[in-house]
Each structure stands twice: as C-alpha cells, then as structure tokens.
Structure 1
Amino acid sequence: MRSERWWQEASVIDGLFHTPTAYEFIQTTRLLRHDPIFNQVQHWADHFSFESSIQLNFPVSELESLNLVDDKIELKNLMVGLLGIQGALPYSYTQKIKLSPRKQRDEVQKFIGLFNHKLTAQYVDSSLVYNLPVRYEIDQNNHYLTILHALNGFVRQQHQPSDLEDFFAEFSGLMQGQNNNVHALKTMLCCVFKQKIEIKEFIVETFQLNDAQKTSLGGLAKNALGLNTFCGEKVRQVDGKIEVQIGPLTYPHYLDYLPGKGLSEQLRKIFKSWCDPTLHVDVRLILKRTDKKAVQIGANQSLGLGQGTFLMPTLTEDHNEFCYALIREI
C-alpha cells in the first residue's frame, strides 16, 4: 500500500503541503508528478482530483487548497476551471451553487468536477508543451533557443555561429514582427556592449545625380516628378542613415571600437543581422577627456591623429569628433 507521507523526506514537497498558497499552480503539479507511483498508472492525472473553486473574491494566490484524501491529491486552483472568478462559466452559476444547501452544493460540485478535472489536466499538459521556460527545463533535446529565434525571424542556419545568438533570443520580443525603432535598438546595444549609447535618426544625406540619372527630353520612358524625375542635380534623403554615438569611453575601449577592431565588427554583425540592409550606419566615438593622449616622439603608436592621439589635447571636454562609416553602400 502506498505510504501517505511519501514526501516526508523531501522538504520542498513537505513545505508545499503546509503552505500551498506560496506556490504556483503549474509548479505544484510538476512537483507532485515526481512521485514514482505515477509512472505505473495510465495517466498522471489519475492520482489527482482537480476540483472547482466557488470563490468569487480576487485571488491572492493561484492555489486555494491542497490535500491528500483517499490516496488522491485534491487540488483547488483559482487560475483555471469552470467555476470561480476565473471560471469559464458565468458568475451566476457559481453564485447559485454557493447559495444552495450544503448537500446539493456538494453534489453539484462533484458533478462539475468530472468535467473540470479533465479540462484542468489538459490545461496542465498544454502548459508543459507550449510554455517556453518549462520546455527549457524538461526538454532533453532543448530547442528553446531555436524557438525564440523563430519569433523574430532569425534563422541560425543562415548565419555563422555567433556569440550574439543569446542576445537575439533575449530581445526577440522587441524584434518580433515590427519595424526597428530607436528604443529597441538602443536597449539591445546597451545590454550587449555595456556602454552609454545614443542613436540619432534622420541624418541628412545629399546625393549628386550623374548624367545617366538625369531626365532629358526625347526619351521613351515616362517622367513622373518625385518618382523618376527630380528638380535639380542633387537629392536629399533623411530616412536612410543613423548615427550611433558610443561613450564616453576609456582609452582601451576606444581602441576596440575603431574601424576593423573586434567591437566594431561585432557592432556591424548586429546591424547586418537585425536592421534593413539598405540602412547606412555611422559610428561616433566619444573619448573621455581624462584618457586623451598626446603624440609622443618615439612612442610605439600605430594610430593616426584624431583616432586616439592628439597634438595638443584639451582636457576640459570629451573628444567626440571622430566619426566613421560602419555600413555604407559600395
């Protein structure tokens, strides 16, 4: 015969039965399903009895009661069911049952409990299948990262293995099915690089039209102003370029963000993977005023002026004059 206190050696289970309101509903079900006896029955829910709650007050916890009766775990939850404040049936059903005589109330609750038990068990099974954090814990093959990448359209097979995969998964909510904005981009960059980052939008660019792009009389193509015909020889564009300002930086970090360096290439990968491929990106590096270094004769320095070395550095303000094109059409 099964021991009534099979959980007595497990402090977590013991605490669960003493204070069930301190646990979540799915968490409680998962803990109690660890009983070895459950593996000998046809379905795990056969050792449970999910009863309906008739409480209409605001739920302060997910569980109302938890008891072990007749070798079954009776569990009343306030999150899902047919009756109660979160129930699928209208409140009037619960109210009528509460006001009915005790014997009739118990009979009706037992009858509704037959349907409520099956529906609640299906809800638990669905939660274990579709709840991503739970899948991450119990799935032996662990496709959790791939599922999160699928939310934002990031296909790992189309990209080389990168240390940025975890960040794309973390910010999948910001990347999911929407146009990128300054807030989303700034949030991710600040988390990845651990630096103060500002992003300026609508940087004006001016393009000079060559002779082949100019409209001339006598052509066979139709000319439409604003589509393929422009007034003047120059075109201004304000929605195709942004400027990323990073800093103030210390001198070692400043060197890592220079063109071709490690952090600069990592920044390029983020924009190439996330943003519009036609977007132009400029990077402006801000060097702390206390880290400005003057040119020294004989010093082993391979950097040019303005890229970390200065003739007569002023120590009263940060240096923010160095700006380079991170992504630009060739």
Structure 2
Amino acid sequence: MRPTYRRIDPGLIEQLASAPQRFEFFQAVRLLERVFAAREGRLPRERPLESIRFRNSTALAFAPSQIEAVECHRRVDAEGQESGELERIEITPSFIGMLGIHGTLPSHYTERVADRERFHKDRAARAFFDLFSNRAVGNFYRAWKKYRLPVAYEQDRRQSFLPMVLALAGLGFDALRDRFQSDSGGVDDEVIAHFAGVLRQRPLSAAVLQDVLAGYFRVPLRVEQFVGKWYALPLDQRSTLGGTNAALGASMLLGERVWQRSLRIRIWIGPLADDMHAQFLPRGERAAALEKLLSLSTGHHFEYEIRPILHADHVRPARLGGGMRLGFDSFILTRPADTDRDDPMFESHPVH
C-alpha cells in the first residue's frame, strides 16, 4: 500500500484552489511565492516565479473577482500517480491578459479561442497566447512588489530594504551598525529601523524620547527635563582683572562655576525587580543599550542622569558575600522596606 504524503500548506493551497474569488491577485501570488520559497529554504526574492504560471481568461462576462480560476499540478512519480508534492500552480487573472473581458486583443480573438477549446478540445491557441501573457503578468507582479515597502522587507529582509531605513536613522555605514551591535547591550538593526522615523526628528521632544525608550525596554520610564547642575568653568573662561572675559554686563562671570538647567536630563526607570534593576546599573546590558540609544537619539548635546528604581518588594539588606555594590544595590535595613528605592544614580554622556 502506498504511503500517505503530507502536502505543503494544505489549508492555504486548498482554499485558494476551491475558492479563488476570496483572494486578491497580488496577495495570492505573494503567499504562493512564500510557500515555494520556504519549501526550498530560500527567500522569496531568490526564487523566480517558475512554479507559478499565469493563463489568459476566455470569459467575456463581468469578472466578480481578480482571480477567475486556480489549478494545482502535483508531481507524478514513475508509476503515474501523484506524489502529493506541489509542482506548479496555474492562475487565471480576470483583470489582465491578452484575452478575456479586460484583454488587450479584440473580443473576437477570445471568442475563437474559447470556441476551439470548448468544442474542438484544442488548447493550442490558448497555450500560445499564454506564452506571452505569463511573462507580462509576471513582470506586472514584480513591478507591484518592487515599490511596496512591507513586501520589499519580506522579500529580502536585511539585504537592501533594511540598510535604506537604517540610513534614515543615521546608520548608513556598516562600521556604525557594528558599533551598535558590538559588545554587551547591543541594539539590533531592526529595532533601530523601527524607530528610525521618530529618532531623526529635530528637535527631538522629551515625550518622543520617553516613548522610544519605554517601548524598547518595556519598563516604566519617565524623562525629566531641565535638571539643574553646577558646572565648573574652564580656567580660560573665568573672569580675571586685567584679563579677558571681563566686560561688565556682557561676558563677566563671578566665581568658578555656573548653574545650568539646559544641559541635563534625568531618566527615571522603574520600579523594577532586582534582576532587571541590576541590568540598568553600570556595566549592565540594558545600561549599555540605553547609552547607545541616547547617542543615536540626541547625540552628545546633553548629559543624562540615570536613576533606576528598585521595587520595595525586592529591597534586601546587605550581607557579606552577597555580591552587592556600594551605592547601587546594598542597603542597611532593620525592617522590611515599605518604599521603592531610587538611591542609585550614574551619569551618561557627561558634559565637562
């Protein structure tokens, strides 16, 4: 008894063959292209449309859908029996071709071809026109998918579409992309491409930056603007008697430091569990990824004060041999904590 062979994607193929009017032409060809490519372990763009043939319609009635008929052909073994493996599919589109109600040739061509096929069992005339129509419809489909960005990404993934989107984000060179993916805390190309549109907005608002970071890390996150800090003045910019920078009301400054609120941004992250909290501390993977995303979004125009918050349920007292770091996750407690702890603080992109 012959063994039973499992067909590839029987649900999709059978649905398309039994009810082709339920499918749009481009979507049907796109799905079939993926089926044949997946069977051979290749991307859709690497496989030509040799397994999908396009035929001419011989109907002169109003077309109710884009696809008139679909016929499946399966491989035949040496015994003359179907092996169950799909070899090719013939699609008859109703909106394009040389024959039919929307054909480019006059209708009497369709009438003569249909007459010979129906009453004389002569399929040669239709097959002759199919030689030209198959190539024309195939090129029409290729032209359609060439300028559809979602389809282009599906076709080649990282080969051409992704580099174009990364170029919009400022990462058009391989060396720059490698820098974001190297070491711990690497940021994947597809993540950067997802946020490319908003990251290149100038100026980048705090609300957008907050949404991007919260969307990437999937944790509660808040961006606080205009955080003040004392900045030391370089020696050559300090006011001295008889020297430079001593114009009263213009460039004169008293003191060795100045208070600025326009250079510093504070990022609150959390409350977090202890394992997630550790990743946002210095030398953590998420801390490294955060620094790379901040470099991509705002460059080095601002400095950031990172404040990861440890959830109260995960605050534990310090103990010898516990591997805790002073000032980050070590606490001296006499009773269980009832509040979240935001003691840890470290800087990113400091302005000197």
By how many angstroms is 1:153 displaced?
1.8
Q: Secondary structure at the match of 1:328?
A: coil
Aligned residues between the structures: 278
1:134-153 deviation digits (Å, cap 9, x = unpaired): 23443398334323212322
Q: Among residues 221, 230, 236, which one is paired with 1:206 in the alignment?
A: 230
Matches within 5 A, 1:290-309: 290-296=313-319, 298-305=320-327, 307-309=329-331
1:88-146 deviation digits (Å, cap 9, x = unpaired): xxxxxxxxxxxxxxxxxx99x666999xxx99977633332233432344339833432
Q: Secondary structure at the match of 1:64?
A: coil
Mark the CA change 1:173 to 1:127 in structure 2 (over 3 Å): closer, same or farther.
Answer: farther
Q: Among residues 218, 235, 241, which one is paired with 1:194 in the alignment?
A: 218
* 1:323 matches 2:324: no
Give, as a single letter, the amino acid of the residue that structure 2 aligns with 1:276. G
- State the partner residue of 2:294: 271
- State the alpha-carbon separation in 2 of the partners of residues 319 and 221 from structure 1: 44
Give, as a single letter, the amino acid of the residue that structure 2 aligns with 1:149. L
- State the partner residue of 1:16: 16
Preserved CA contact (<8 Å) 1:285 1:320:
yes
Q: Secondary structure at the match of 2:313?
A: helix
- State the alpha-carbon separation in 2 of the partners of residues 120 and 223 from structure 1: 77
By how many angstroms is 1:177 displaced?
4.8
- State the partner residue of 1:100: none
- State the partner residue of 2:65: 64
By how many angstroms is 1:73 displaced?
5.3
Q: Secondary structure at the match of 1:316?
A: coil
| Aligned sequence identity (%) | 19
Give, as a single letter, the amino acid of the residue that structure 1 aligns with 2:65. E
- State the alpha-carbon separation in 1 of the partners of residues 164 and 280 from structure 2: 32
TM-score, scaled relative to structure 2: 0.60
Preserved CA contact (<8 Å) 2:300 2:349:
no
- State the alpha-carbon separation in 2 of the partners of residues 328 and 140 from structure 1: 37
Range moving further from structure 2, 287-296 or 206-215: 206-215
Q: Secondary structure at the match of 2:275?
A: helix
* Coordinate RMSD, CA, aligned: 4.8
Q: Which runs of 5+ in 2 are unaligned?
A: 1-8, 37-46, 71-89, 108-134
Range moving further from structure 2, 283-292 or 203-212: 203-212
- State the alpha-carbon separation in 2 of the partners of residues 199 and 274 from structure 1: 14
1:267-316 deviation digits (Å, cap 9, x = unpaired): 222222332212201111211112212234x4444421553323446622
Q: Secondary structure at the match of 1:149?
A: helix
By how many angstroms is 1:321 displaced?
2.8
* 1:135 matches 2:159: no
- State the alpha-carbon separation in 1 of the partners of residues 248 and 105 from structure 2: 71
* 1:283 matches 2:301: no
Matches within 5 A, 1:43-62: 47=55
Matches within 5 A, 1:1-330: 12-16=12-16, 18-20=18-20, 22-30=22-30, 39=50, 47=55, 64-68=65-69, 75=93, 124-139=141-156, 142-154=159-171, 155-158=173-176, 159-160=178-179, 161-162=181-182, 163-165=186-188, 166-209=190-233, 212-214=236-238, 229=251, 233=255, 235-296=258-319, 298-305=320-327, 307-312=329-334, 315-330=337-352
Range moving further from structure 2, 174-183 or 243-252: 174-183
Mark the CA change 1:219 to 1:197 in structure 2 (over 3 Å): closer, same or farther.
Answer: same
By how many angstroms is 1:241 displaced?
1.7
TM-score, scaled relative to structure 1: 0.63
Mark the CA change 1:260 to 1:230 in structure 2 (over 3 Å): closer, same or farther.
Answer: farther
Give, as a single letter, the amino acid of the residue that structure 2 aligns with 1:329. V
